[in-house]
Amino acid sequence: MEFEKFLVTIDKAVPTELDMHRFHMHFSRTGSSWINQVEWWFSLSTDELVRRGVRTSARALEQDITPWIENWNQNPESFTWNKTADEIVNSLAAYLATIIHLATKD
């Protein structure tokens, strides 16, 4: 909501004679967001690198992470969906059924 207020404030502050593109909000489901790709990458780097070593300083961690990132950039791996839409919907339905069952269990 704060972001929307910020956009309204900008919209009101810009003189009408200026050619400003108006703001359009698009709904994007959480699971389809590009940020999930970023989270996936950080999860991968954590699993492959950070958890596998013991470091005594932030500098030591940086010295380990930097080559890993450089190697990733030279040999990136694509993220691809490996489930169909039906499989995802069915998985969600089963998850929701479990939650409802647990919530109504007495």
Dump pLDDT digits (tens) for 30-41.
666 677 778 888
Compute the radius of gyration of the chain from its Cα atoms. 22
Query: pLDDT of 43-78, one tens digit each?
Result: 888 888 888 778 889 999 899 899 999 999 999 877
| Residue 75: C-alpha distances to residues 62, 67, 69, 70 (Å) | 20, 12, 10, 9
Distance CA 68, CA 74 (A): 10
In this structure, the dihedral spanned by the alpha carbons of residues 82, 85, 88 and 92, taken in order and rounded to 10 degrees, is 170
